[in-house]
Amino acid sequence: MTTMYGIKNCDTIKKARKWLDDAGIDYQFHDYKKDGLSEALLDQWLAELGWEALVNKRGTTWRKLDDSLKDNMNEANARQVMLENPSIIKRPLLDTGSQKVLGFSADEYTALHGN
């Protein structure tokens, strides 16, 4: 089962969900705000994708962080920040079970799902 992780009111999430719906792809949506984020799941993503890829440095949550934290970001404090503020994780994170894709690109989703 494909799972999309993100936040329901995010514009990019809305575009990605519409793409999946229009393509007839069955998926489950996991909303960080409603469903939370487990340490085990985050640790799995960190091991597979790395904290640099996961942290969205373009978003509001990043901009609100203290400059000294941003300047000294590493895996340990990035992990803590993501657990406390899952909205800082790049969205969407699509997990097909065999592959994970960060962000939304119609071309990438098409290649992933063969549509």
Q: Is 46 known to be catalytic?
A: no
Q: Distance of alpha carbon 32 from its chain centroid, rounded?
A: 9
Measured distance CA(35)–CA(62) in Å, rounded: 21
Average pLDDT, the chain: 95
Which residue ranges form the domains of the chain, and what is each CATH number?
2-113 (3.40.30.10)
The HSE-up count of residue 29 (CA atoms within 13 Å, CB side) is 18
What's the count of helices (H) and strands (E) in the chain, helices before strands? 8, 4
Q: How confident is the model over 98-103, as a mean pLDDT?
A: 94
Options 4, 10, 16, 101, the catalytic residue: 10
Can you give the pLDDT at residue 50? 97
* pTM to 2 decimal places: 0.93
**pLDDT score of 115:** 54
Give which of 6, 32, 16 is closest to 112, Cα–Cα. Answer: 16
